[in-house]
Amino acid sequence: MNNGLEPVRLVVFLATWRMFYETANAHRQPAVQYLIQKSQPEETLDPLRQAWGDKAVKKFAALQQRNWQRWNAAMFEKVD
């Protein structure tokens, strides 16, 4: 039995053996975690950080609006 496929046969046997072992010892009911929660999580940020976050979001939205206005002006201006 000294042919070239003997190591492949051994690896397939070991992989199959491991697969059956893992499926036999698997947890029957895994813990379920949902992305959508029924209740809102408690706010962990202090009021100062919350204010900074709100300010950053507003400034980012204003910056994006200006960028879109510039893009629209550049796209629809007359070309001589």
Q: What is the pTM of this model?
A: 0.40
> Contact 4/11 with Cβ under 8 angstroms?
no
pLDDT of residue 75: 83
The per-residue pLDDT for range 30-66, each reduced to its tens digit, is 666 677 766 666 666 688 888 999 999 999 999 999 9
Task: Report the candidate in 38, 41, 43 with the shortest Cα–Cα distance to residue 54.
Answer: 43
Say which residue, 76 or 72, is predicted with more confidence.
72
